[in-house]
Amino acid sequence: MAKGTITGTTSNQYIDAKVEWESVADPQYNQSTMVAKLYYRRTNTGFTTSGSGEFSISVGGWKKTEFISGVEIGTGWVLLMQHDVWFDHESDGTKSVTITATGSLNGTTLKYTSLSRTVALDTIPRASTVSASNVTLGNKCKVTWTPKATTLRYKLVFTLGDWEYETGYISPATTSSYTYTGYTIPLDVAEEIT
């Protein structure tokens, strides 16, 4: 999971803005889902800024805008809106997106918000190179690969002619060389050899 906080400025020196974001990668689809939340607060005690206005969050060009009434900004952080988006990663597994936010309250000193930053999401590991040694029918297979991340799961598919077998998920939980020997090639596969 990648996450971070982006701070911004406003037209009022005593009002702060920030966006807190986090993303979760999905290696199976080479995508990430991101949640971005927009907050405001006053830095001087004893004052409150209240009103209604328009606020927006843009993530990677996907923009969400809301008109919010009954806003009250005091000395504690106030969550005003949330934006949920998903992105395809690049072919090498990387992804960067630009997050921006704007906001103002009608008839108050909060006339604008300036907040923008480009952030990098977690890189999704690429596929591993698999090698398999020769095996005698009726004996266990021996398939070796080096996982790109400890969280990845794998399935192996064995085929010969019209015969096919797919394993369940394999979780090596390592980034070192891993050898799978959990399947015995059945003797009757020999019927597929012409």
* CA 58 from centroid of its chain's CA atoms: 16
Task: Report how far residue 146's alpha carbon sits from residue 160's, in angstroms, rounded to the nearest whole number.
Answer: 25
Whole-number pLDDT of residue 194: 76
Whole-number pLDDT of residue 153: 85
Whole-number pLDDT of residue 28: 79
Task: Report how far residue 84's alpha carbon sits from residue 103's, in angstroms, rounded to the nearest whole number.
Answer: 18
Q: Has residue 91 got a pLDDT over 90? A: no
Share of residues in the chain with pLDDT > 70 (%): 100
When pLDDT is averaged across residues 150-174 and rounded to a whole number, the result is 91
Task: Report how far residue 26's alpha carbon sits from residue 126's, in angstroms, rounded to the nearest whole number.
Answer: 12
Share of residues in the chain with pLDDT > 90 (%): 83
In which band, very low, low, confident or very high, does the pLDDT at 178 lie, cut at 50, 70 and 90? very high
In which band, very low, low, confident or very high, does the pLDDT at 193 lie, cut at 50, 70 and 90? confident
Angle formed at CA 127 by CA 4 and CA 176, multiple of 5 degrees:
85
